[in-house]
Structure 1
Amino acid sequence: MAQIRVMGDDADEVTRVLEALLPLVNACTALVAGQPVELSKRGPGLRVVFELLPAGPGPVTVEQAGPATRTGARTPRRRALPG
């Protein structure tokens, strides 16, 4: 499970960062963010964590590619059959 943790000694600063970060993450169509959870503190400040998940498979497009070529590749040669 992928998580983002925002933590700092200044609770107001952490709150301002979250106010800027969460709309950016929520606007990303490739990710789904969970609800932020405040973690217990080990002193002053604020610790917040939220889970990130991939949004899931989107539409898949397949393009036909030309034949694969290798630069400098040797041409395969057959051994001559015994006479």
Structure 2
Amino acid sequence: MAQIRIMGDENEVAAVLEMLLPFVQASTALVASAPRELSMRGPGRRVVFELLPAAPGPVTVERDDQPAARRRELT
């Protein structure tokens, strides 16, 4: 998993997140985690979020065994 870290002045980080997150969230090729605020030892702001490639497409599953025989009730 890749990690995006945005560090800097509080206002600058907020502005970058405001522009970047809509692009990442609208992407069909990437899946992003929710941004997390990290603590800092000084002034400023530090935010991280993870990125994963999206699944390559819809996944289908087919049976490779025989379905169980249906029981018929005797009446």
TM-score normalised to the size of structure 1?
Answer: 0.66
The letter of the residue matching 2:52 is: L
Is residue 7 of structure 2 the alignment partner of residue 7 of structure 1?
A: yes
Gaps of 5+ in 2: 59-75
Match in the other structure for 2:42? 43
Gaps of 5+ in 1: 60-83
Aligned pairs for 1:2-81 (under 5 A) are 2-8=2-8, 10-58=9-57
Instruction: Name the % identity.
Output: 74
Q: In the aligned structure 2, how far is the partner of 1:2 from the partner of 1:21?
A: 16
The letter of the residue matching 2:15 is: R
Give, in angstroms, the shift of residue 57 of structure 1.
1.4
Who wins on radius of gyration, i.e. which is larger? 1
Paired positions, count: 58
Q: Which stretches of structure 1, 4 residues or more, deviate above 2 A after TM superposition?
A: none
TM-score normalised to the size of structure 2?
Answer: 0.73
Deviations 1:14-54 (A, max 9, x none): 00100000001111110010000000112100000001011
**Structure having the larger proportion of residues in strand:** 2
